[in-house]
Each structure stands twice: as C-alpha cells, then as structure tokens.
Structure 1
Amino acid sequence: MKPTGDDVLGLIARCRSAVRRRDAENLTSLMQQLTGRTPQTWGTIIGFGSCSYRYPTGTTGDCPILSFAPRASATTIYLLDGVEAHTAALSRLGEHSTGVGCVYIPDLDRIDLDVLRGILTRSLAWAESGGDERIQLAVTG
C-alpha cells in the first residue's frame, strides 16, 4: 500500500453520511494531534505517518502508522498491534465491533473518546517502538 496523494478533505466530503463526515473530520484532527503528522490518503484510507512492515513469513509492505476509513456502515479504525492488545480498553469504549486489526465505530458520539485516545496512543507507541515478534515495523515517515 502506498499514499495515493488524493485530497483528504475531498475524500471526507464525498462521504454520503453526515455522521461519517463529522466522524472523519474529528478523527483526522485527533490522529493528527496524536501523531504530529499530516494526513494522507492511501486509497480510501486516511493515514498518518508511514512504516514498512515485515511478517515472520517474509511478507513485506508499507502502511500508515495510524489510520481510518470512513465506510458506509461504520468508520473503520486500523490498529497495527491488533484489537487483542486493547481488550480491556475496548470493553469500556462504547458502541463498536471489531475484526482482527480493526475497530468499527458507527458513531463517535456513542463512544468514550478518552478511551479511544488511549487505544490510539498505545497503538502508536507500539508501532513507533518497532512492533514485536508478530510484525516488525520500521517507521519511515
């Protein structure tokens, strides 16, 4: 995956749902504040910073350090360290669902933003420290 260079504000403006647009604006601000990095589009994903990854299998690639995507039914927040690393915090988050490395939030107004901030801060620190035995990371931007 590589940054596509599309307009972040344009991507947000194209969201059909007013809730998704509002949430994308709020998450862009929050993630920019936490990372100190400028948002970039990675296709339909809004990412902050970049890193190279390597799995024990030898699979390699590039991805944002923190990112989200405003999807039709929910905003998807991607966590490089996976959701299992945040089980306790997620139990206090509010209305959401999860995948292996994703948190799906239908409405930011229905979650505890301080809990989300903590999850994102811990995930960012994990990524910036180089990952672990599951995935090795090298911050590139």
Structure 2
Amino acid sequence: MSELKTKENDADVYAFIDAYANTEQKKSDSYELIKLMTLVTGEPPRMWGTSIIGFGKYHYKSERSSQEGDWPIIGFSPRKTALSLYVFTGLEEHESMLTDLGKFKKGKACIYVKKLSDIDVTVLEKLMRFTVDFMKRTYGVN
C-alpha cells in the first residue's frame, strides 16, 4: 500500500496564501474562506500537503482498495485557475444542495469557483455544515 503524500503539517497557512494565491481576489477570498470554515467547523486552518488548507480531520479506510489515512473534513485550495472547495460529499443524493449555489464547476467531491462573489455564500455555508455533519456521523469524528 502506498502512503498518502498529502498530510497535515505545520506550514504557515497565511504565508502559503500570500505566496501561492496568484491574484489579490484569490487572497481576499482565501481569507474569507478561512473565517467561514473556522466558524463552521470550530477548527483552525491547517496545511495539508503543499497546497490544501484543511479544517478538522477524519480517518478513512477505502472499501475499494487498501488505502487509508487522514483527510480534512472540509478545506480549500486557491489554485491557479479557480478556488477548489472541498466541501461536498460527492454523493448523488446530495446534488440537490448545489441547485442554488451559483456559478461553479463540480468535480467528484470538489467544487471549483473563480471567485466567492460568483456563488451564494449562505448556500455554501449550509452545504459545508451539511458536509461536516455527514462526515462526523459517517466517520465518528467528535
């Protein structure tokens, strides 16, 4: 079994944003996401790997492979082309929660937005709270 490369570490979240976010808009949006995700989770921001900011964590074991490890409950990354928001379960039955979100693209369990003003942040907060509750129930996180 290969070891996960993306792990929680002690790198400075704010220094990462200042160095990595390629526009002032992404920096500003990143600071807003930190406030919102801290409020929703009650957890401080932590770096995961070299480019993900995560909040809280859970331990998973894949049913399809022998892979297991820790991962943030929710998080984001200010990537070059968009903000990657790790705030969605990816489950088909949760798709309806995205209806009123606004302008975004969706990956399997990730949402991509160009800027926060493209989406309804109230809906984003609701989605995050649902995801946090789901992850806590599913993985027994306190």
Shorter-chain TM-score tier:
0.7 to 0.9
Distance 1:46 1:4, change over 3 A: same
Instruction: Give 1:71-110 correspondences, 5 Å limit.
Output: 71-79=79-87, 81-82=89-90, 84-110=92-118
The normalised TM-score by structure 2 is: 0.87
Instruction: Give the number of the structure with larger relative contact order, counting CA–CA contacts within 8 Å between residues 6 or more apart.
Output: 1
Which amino acid in the other structure matches residue 14 of structure 2?
Answer: L
Deviations 1:35-88 (A, max 9, x none): 001110002100001111012133211101111111011100114621634322
Aligned-residue CA RMSD (Å): 1.6
How much does 1:102 deviate?
0.5
Are the equivalent residues in 1 in contact too, given 2:103–2:118 (CA < 8 A)?
yes
CA distance, structure 1, for counterparts of residue 126 and residue 48 of structure 2: 24
Distance 1:104 1:85, change over 3 A: farther
Give secondary structure in 1 for the equivalent of 2:8: coil
CA distance, structure 2, for counterparts of residue 18 and residue 61 of structure 1: 34
Question: After the TM superposition, which of the residue ranges 74-83 and 63-72 deviates more from structure 2?
Answer: 74-83
Q: 1:49: which partner in 2? A: 56
Q: Which runs of 5+ in 2 are unaligned?
A: 1-5
Identity rate, percent: 32
- Which protein is richer in strand relative to its size? 1
Q: Which runs of 5+ in 1 are unaligned?
A: 131-136
Which amino acid in the other structure matches residue 9 of structure 2?
Answer: T
Give secondary structure in 1 for the equivalent of 2:9: coil
Q: 1:35: which partner in 2? A: 41
Q: 2:15: which partner in 1? A: 10
